[in-house]
Structure 1
């Protein structure tokens, strides 16, 4: 049975095109001489071509070719093992980079919409509040209003290898095969004098096949499989026909010249506008993202789309290479990025440890600690890491801030505070500031996240005669204010699991604070929200309704973390600068110093 490896000292290696596996191999002896027990590797699976950080993964099952080949990777691992060193890998289960067509899952979703085989993989709302976006994905990447961008000729359709795609500067978007007739009908007209030729009949046949292709809104699994199969056959037929008959290629190029329009002639873009209107996505001005985007992101980063790791097929698809590396001994530990974004973090950690045990060909230990596992969890105030998680600890933000705290002279607080307030010209209460900035974030960059929760809460109220008369505005306000008053990043309630005292206290505290700040809003609205968040559902619900209530709780939990991060770390920390050392991630600027006794106590708690 492989021995569980616990690192004694790690050294972070930031892999990218400027620091490769081959270069990492050469410094292993040096790191070993320094006393480093394990390399702590940044994400090195396939990411964006220009990525320097690796968190924008486009393929979880391929090594990043900008960093090196599999042979170069294996040589690095051999060198580590020769020096009895291990490797802790930074793994990203919450989201993927979607800015480049190398992400085949996302590209397939854009091409096929809800009928894509990968549509369930991403956290997309196909029935959003805005009806014009039904069965579409909003892509907010345009530098100006859509109409202006269109009529300047910045959106151009291209044809290559039997497929049509849209190009906007350096971005590419596939066109749905069902919309190819927008171009091919014009091409057929260009060939009207060649009706007796075989290639003309073949092009007509391709158009007929496209007409019978299952629609991109298809829900039936067999029809979805048929679409996935037939669309590729049609592309190959079209590619072959263009290779064999240059006339067809020329007719398509002429059709594209017509479709793509002429700047200065607005009506010439009508056909292109119609073509784009039939796609499974809607390109939009980047500024509309905050209020209308309909896929979950990493915080407010539009190019990082969240994936639904709670689905077994997504977990399996995203962990193939990782578990292979674990089973082969290349990866001996894992650092999990942004676990608060996961639908059910505890369930994910359990499954990861069990699958790691399978990869290592061992029975899962009773405590499920098959592999060294740490999580990027930010603990707030007195919050403790969950004892029921099969992990070995956090990535260390809490320890780092304790070290900073014990080096800060608490006796200097009054003088530094006085100097700070004199400099900015007024007193500043940190708690009030965080509350205000979280509300600001919910009004601006993450507005749609709150609108969606409000609409979900409204649907739940309609199922209860005691609460159905509350307006959407009142219910959304209750959600917004409760999140603004949340004292931690998130809670971790799960269906059919007991509620921890810590989670119960957080929810009760947040609701009570929201009530105090909003005396004009009827208390019962907050009580209704509190009861749902504590899984105290009405007794007369159907199984489907109970599942809907539970889903609201889990989506609420996924939302509070990004709002805390954006409001606290990305906003309040840049305003409240009483002592900059206290403003590290996970820090508490209002806590000025930590006693030596307190420092040792917190270390003892971590060790327990």
Structure 2
């Protein structure tokens, strides 16, 4: 079981070899397991690894097998493990590097890999039956033909034809090779005599290709025959070409001839019409695409991982690494995209258990396994998932909420509404955003579901009058009202929770449509709850329900995460993956409750503060949260800034930055403003980062521009506004005012970041540190948060800190004072991480299974502290952190030293009487007080506002 993990983002800029160099640094930091981003073969140039093209090879851009072995050896030397991020839901397609997908394009349903991908071979549109729509063209198909952007190519060595569209390769169906080989062509009759052996062999090869089994064949004997014979005939053709330059010249002549007549009267169009694929303009994907994608990304195709054959082919390599002891854990990407997540985890566990010759009587995962899964704040992860937990989005949001002052909800809402000039209701934004997504990017998938539902309705005389349009509209409303990412129905039994979510969605949908036929919604409810089994076999209902479940998840992701969270900017530190702006912070009691529940149900789940998916890093959120403590000052500040920056808006009305986006920008500036003065180069880089973020944000919001329909005018206006605002020659007044405001809230923001770090490293679960976040990281949404980390510099800082700590007679109070005085360099955060992780390693059982106790706090400023204890038979440890301390800092000229003087903790009588505070090395004792003991901690908090007090159980 990991004690602590450290997420590394592998790509060609950060390889196995480079990671190997810094294993010793991670060990020194206190990390037990490296938690690696996907490192299997991905699309060339990938900076994240989720676009895998081969599940059975290492990514050559990351390193060779020898490089990987060296990394494993280095980890073993330090007693460390490896957790691997795997991607079972989808693969990268298009391009020319996924051999499984290329085989499907060449052979259609006769391909061995046709069942690997989630392709609908029988769509409603007749012209697409037995075909795959490939929305890859930059313009309409007819235009591409006219402009002759498609090229027919011949691989002489392989004896095979392909059609290319820039970097995209589309294999030609070998059965249609005769359309190209054209043995009756006049050119050949001029070159060869009718009885020439070379010409006769050429004719024989052409004839052989024409007699191949059809690509629609699915019988095993026929598909095997096609697979075998097509390769034999290709080799014959390649050999004939190698021996006869005249044949090569003719084929070159023929491939060029396909471009001579453009448009639909040309040979290129005729050849394409005979292929298994239909090339199309990328914009048609939303309406007609007939393969499941990862969300709405056309070049990521869904895998049918529920098929045993597909599971074996995609997991062979990673299972071998587990068997060899080269990886000790797995992170399963995009759990909600799987057809049946629970069945997937069960199969995975069974395979690993068998490989490792383990006993699975308890049904526990044989190795550490977590799922990337978003859990709503009113949702619980089902205990029947055979995993150790999730990747921790819910924890990140709960911890973040502790540092938001709930009293500010109404003032900040008023401030936001007044600034943007209109009211925004987040629930309504999500509803409308989900409908927009379903009517555009994910319309095709909705049409497929509607057609399946129509076929079910047609079975009964009571429901056959429900029209396709009525069913589609009702489905759209139900999905738009769905309160969670998905349900997990996989048998005839529907859980209480799933039933509640379905009933809620249907009821809400019925309320919204008003006078529409409510019977349609009742019918949908019955289907989703499998209550229509007397009319239609339950297995048929279940097929629909399980496809429905696969659809609600991407709709929620695109509508909630990637649209509404970029539209509703009241306080953007709430707008995080798995977050919900309607929940304006969490109380201390709520925080304790969540920790206690986690310890009971998922004690080993991963805990994160920042990930590669974060919209804003934890340190950014910590600074923005301070605004909730000073809503009046914030309202005054942004009112001034808007006035000051009016001249920076271009006169072109189409390009004026919208008030909502301007409001977003000011918060982003608060969260990311550099702690040190920048030179010209660094200032330019910072401006570019902000511009890149804002363009992504406004496109995701889909109000003034979008990925589908980018508005160059609006985006240029946003870019110029940022450029002018950050130019001291243009916006001196604004920059001076902004910097004065930011300086006043910087320290409480950094204390927030330190406090949440200590909570992260001591709460129930396994803490994961995202690369570089042992120091300050004020990063934004990807790709900003995937920028390279200077591990050499981080290592130098760690060595310097360790050296200072190891000095004889090291005065901790002076060291902490120095670190706080130079807070901007991040060493104070490294100090907290280093000390806490090492302590955690010293007492792994305490944090793995120790009890969690809420600790009551007393004293003048008790509301500004949070405390809990972890205990087992050997240890009793108390964690104390400050919260909502902006006013305390301002009142105490920068440090709230005096307000902690009367602070004491109420401990149980069985608690130890003597404690050593980890950071300050202060020794403190408790005082008996009847039914409890008092623990005065003011002397320690005066030195450092955070505390980790360690006592030995039974030491009274």
TM-score by length of 1: 0.96
Q: For residue 167 of structure 2, what is the aligned residue in structure 1?
A: 170
> Is contact 1:188-1:203 (8 Å) kept?
no
Q: How far did 1:607 drift?
A: 1.1
Q: For residue 196 of structure 2, what is the aligned residue in structure 1?
A: 197
Q: How far did 1:251 drift?
A: 0.6
> Is contact 1:188-1:251 (8 Å) kept?
no
Give yes or no for the alignment of 1:440 onto 2:436. yes
How far apart, CA to CA, are the structure 2 residues paired with 1:8 and 1:425? 49
For 1:519, which of 514, 525, 536 is the aligned residue?
Answer: 514
For 2:107, which of 112, 119, 128 is the aligned residue?
Answer: 112
How far apart, CA to CA, are the structure 2 residues paired with 1:379 and 1:179? 50
The C-alpha deviation readout for 1:549-583, integer Å capped at 9, x for no partner, is: 21100000000000000000110011101101000
Equivalence map 1:362-377=2 (5 Å): 362-377=358-373
Give yes or no for the alignment of 1:48 onto 2:43. yes
Q: For residue 595 of structure 2, what is the aligned residue in structure 1?
A: 603
How far apart, CA to CA, are the structure 2 residues paired with 1:246 and 1:128? 45
> Is contact 1:100-1:172 (8 Å) kept?
yes
Q: For residue 378 of structure 2, what is the aligned residue in structure 1?
A: 382
Equivalence map 1:170-569=2 (5 Å): 170-185=167-182, 188-193=185-190, 194=192, 195-261=194-260, 266=263, 270-496=266-492, 498-541=493-536, 545-569=537-561
SS at match of 2:437: helix
The C-alpha deviation readout for 1:386-418, integer Å capped at 9, x for no partner, is: 100111111010000001100111111111111
Q: For residue 874 of structure 2, what is the aligned residue in structure 1?
A: none
How far apart, CA to CA, are the structure 2 residues paired with 1:287 and 1:27? 45
SS at match of 2:115: helix
For 1:90, which of 80, 85, 88 is the aligned residue?
Answer: 85
How far apart, CA to CA, are the structure 1 residues paired with 2:7 and 2:213? 49
The structure-2 alpha-carbon separation of the partners of 1:397 and 1:266, relative to structure 1 and needing over 3 Å to count, comes to closer
> Is contact 2:4-2:32 (8 Å) kept?
yes
Q: How far did 1:547 drift?
A: 2.6
How far apart, CA to CA, are the structure 2 residues paired with 1:305 and 1:87? 28
How far apart, CA to CA, are the structure 1 residues paired with 2:310 and 2:340? 14
Q: How far did 1:516 drift?
A: 0.3
How far apart, CA to CA, are the structure 1 residues paired with 2:182 and 2:129? 27
- Is the deviation greater in 308-317 or in 196-205? 196-205
Q: For residue 149 of structure 2, what is the aligned residue in structure 1?
A: 154
The C-alpha deviation readout for 1:14-57, integer Å capped at 9, x for no partner, is: 11111111111110001000001110100000110111110011
How far apart, CA to CA, are the structure 1 residues paired with 2:413 and 2:407? 11
| Structure 2 unpaired stretches of 5+ | 601-956
Q: For residue 3 of structure 2, what is the aligned residue in structure 1?
A: 8
Equivalence map 1:53-68=2 (5 Å): 53-68=48-63
> Is contact 1:261-1:272 (8 Å) kept?
no
Q: For residue 25 of structure 1, what is the aligned residue in structure 2?
A: 20
> Is contact 1:146-1:284 (8 Å) kept?
yes
Q: For residue 594 of structure 1, what is the aligned residue in structure 2?
A: 586
For 1:102, which of 97, 108, 116 is the aligned residue?
Answer: 97
> Is contact 1:112-1:216 (8 Å) kept?
yes
Q: How far did 1:186 drift?
A: 5.7
SS at match of 1:190: helix
SS at match of 1:53: coil
> Is contact 2:38-2:85 (8 Å) kept?
yes
Larger Rg: 2
> Is contact 2:95-2:168 (8 Å) kept?
yes
Q: For residue 3 of structure 1, what is the aligned residue in structure 2?
A: none
Q: How far did 1:261 drift?
A: 2.3
Provide the aligned C-alpha RMSD in A: 1.2
> Is contact 1:46-1:62 (8 Å) kept?
yes
> Is contact 1:123-1:295 (8 Å) kept?
yes
Q: How far did 1:101 drift?
A: 2.4
How far apart, CA to CA, are the structure 1 residues paired with 2:82 and 2:531? 44
Q: Number of aligned pairs? A: 596
> Is contact 2:6-2:31 (8 Å) kept?
yes
> Is contact 1:48-1:99 (8 Å) kept?
no
Flag as ranges the 4+ runs of structure 1 deviating above 3 A. 186-189
How far apart, CA to CA, are the structure 2 residues paired with 1:91 and 1:184? 44
> Is contact 2:20-2:74 (8 Å) kept?
yes
The C-alpha deviation readout for 1:531-564, integer Å capped at 9, x for no partner, is: 11111123144xxx43322110000000000000
| Structure 1 unpaired stretches of 5+ | 1-5
For 1:72, which of 54, 67, 70 is the aligned residue?
Answer: 67
